[in-house]
Amino acid sequence: MIQSELLIGGEKFPVTCLNIGNPHTVLFVENFDFDWKTLGGEIEHLQVFPERTNVEFVKIVSRKKLIVADWERGAGATGSSGTGAAAAVCAGVMSAHADRKCEVKFKTGSLFIDWDEITNIVNLTGPVVKICDGIYYY
């Protein structure tokens, strides 16, 4: 589905649905001045997604820069998502809003996506930060 209407709570929203190894639903927004977390949860659990879906709310800054608020199925709002960044760029390309090489800015920082036109491979680069240590006893 590319910019197809989806009925959510009695209202129609244009969405792009795709699979980047897991299901994603992308909505392009003008801003984040709405309860995107509640809407993300509603979309995740719609009957049209029997295995649920991740949801990306994407603000287009330019053809090379997107800002994303991410709702991950089963986890809720997250600070960033690799597959979410990839889905945002791919949906942007498919709906003629973005280039294949984009910076995707999340609340926690930026990821960089390059969707290769020849190989169809989506490459992701970005910083790696150690956040904790732990021991798991099985």
Domain coordinates in residue numbering, the chain: 4-125
pTM of the full structure = 0.91
pLDDT at 26: 98
DSSP for 49-112 reads: -TT--EEEEEEEEETTEEEEEEEETTTEEES--HHHHHHHHHHHHHTTSS-SEEEEEETTEEEE
pLDDT at 28: 97
- % helix / strand / coil in the chain, to the nearest 5? 15, 40, 40
Fold of 4-125: Diaminopimelate Epimerase; Chain A, domain 1 (3.10.310)
- Residue 16's pLDDT band (cuts 50, 70, 90): very high
pLDDT > 70: what percent of the chain?
Answer: 100
Is 129's pLDDT higher than 90?
A: no
